[in-house]
Amino acid sequence: MERLQKILSQAGVASRRASEQLMREGRVTVNGATIRELGTKADPASDDIRVDGRRIALPERYRYLLLNKPRGYVTTRSDPQRRPTVIDLLVGIREYVYPVGRLDFDTEGLLILTNDGELAARLTHPRHGVARVYEAEVLGVPDAHDLDRLARGVTVEGYRMTATQVHLLPGRRDRHATVQITIQEGRNRQVRNMLEAIGHPVEHLRRVAIGPIRDMRLKPGRWRDLTEAEVTSLRKMSLQTPRTLHRGGDPRHNAGPHRSHAAPRGRHGSGVRTRSK
């Protein structure tokens, strides 16, 4: 017997937190009875468990997808406003995968989708501090003081937000600059809000890395399966905490607040050969 929200997560229906919300909304039934109590347990092998009337089953195999999300797509399985969703881009995928975390409607870049609820829950839990790297084209050119503020932390709507690393990339044009910023939290619109707070609003935002996962060859709107090595690296990272990461992880992601006016070497990584889908 397992907790119902854990079963839903393992079945790839949603993350544990989202599964709990489905239960609160009365959308989950077990053997015909609507279940709202979060501590309820069930047996997926013998109980009839349904979400919105659809019977769920544990997946026969897990899928781990990497999508380069374009602008103009919602990071969800369905949208009440009927806007395009990232699921619309996964042509040929039959498994019930869902996004791990989210990217704003106007943000592009790397996004992982999977039906492995356990891994998804670990990757999104703030306790594990999985690094996410963004490149933001901003209005104006941040100076040393601005970059220090990001590294030391800025307060937005009562929350203290800090960047693990901040770099001003070369190639400025007109009155614009590109800032590479690494965060280990994941608050809504965090990068946009942080840069707005120092007076340099974002005009274009792209996520270029999720932990060890990078792929500069993957074109916007395209996806591929993660390799076994990539999945293994994500699993190892998801089992660590910021403290163990600091001791034995990638120093580029855990060196504490850092500022540089030059792009870090190898910032684009070597990339992985892609298969267009």
Return the pLDDT at 275.
36
Give the per-residue pLDDT at 121: 83
The pLDDT value recorded for residue 125 is 77
Which domains are assigned to the chain?
2-55 (3.10.290.10), 64-126+217-245 (3.30.70.580), 128-213+250-260 (3.30.70.1560)
Q: For every one of its 277 residues, what pLDDT tens digit does the chain have, with 9 covering 90 and above?
A: 889 998 888 787 887 888 999 999 999 999 999 999 998 999 988 899 999 999 988 777 889 999 999 999 999 988 889 999 999 999 999 888 889 988 999 999 999 999 888 888 888 877 777 899 999 999 999 999 999 999 999 999 888 999 999 999 997 777 899 999 999 887 889 999 999 999 999 999 999 999 999 999 999 999 999 999 999 999 998 887 654 343 333 333 333 334 444 443 333 333 333 333 3
The first and second tokens of residue 253, run together, are 């992601």
pTM: 0.74
Q: What is the DSSP string of 152-212?
A: H-EEETTEEE--SEEEEEEEEETTEEEEEEEES---TTHHHHHHHHTT--EEEEEEEEETT
What pLDDT, on the 0 to 100 scale, is given for residue 13?
82
3-class secondary structure, 19: helix
Q: Do 51 and 5 meet the contact criterion of CB atoms below 8 Å apart? A: no
pLDDT for res 60: 74
Which residues, 6 or more positions from 267, have their beta carbon under 8 angstroms from its beta carbon? 167, 169, 180, 208
pLDDT at 242: 55
Residues with active-site annotation? 104
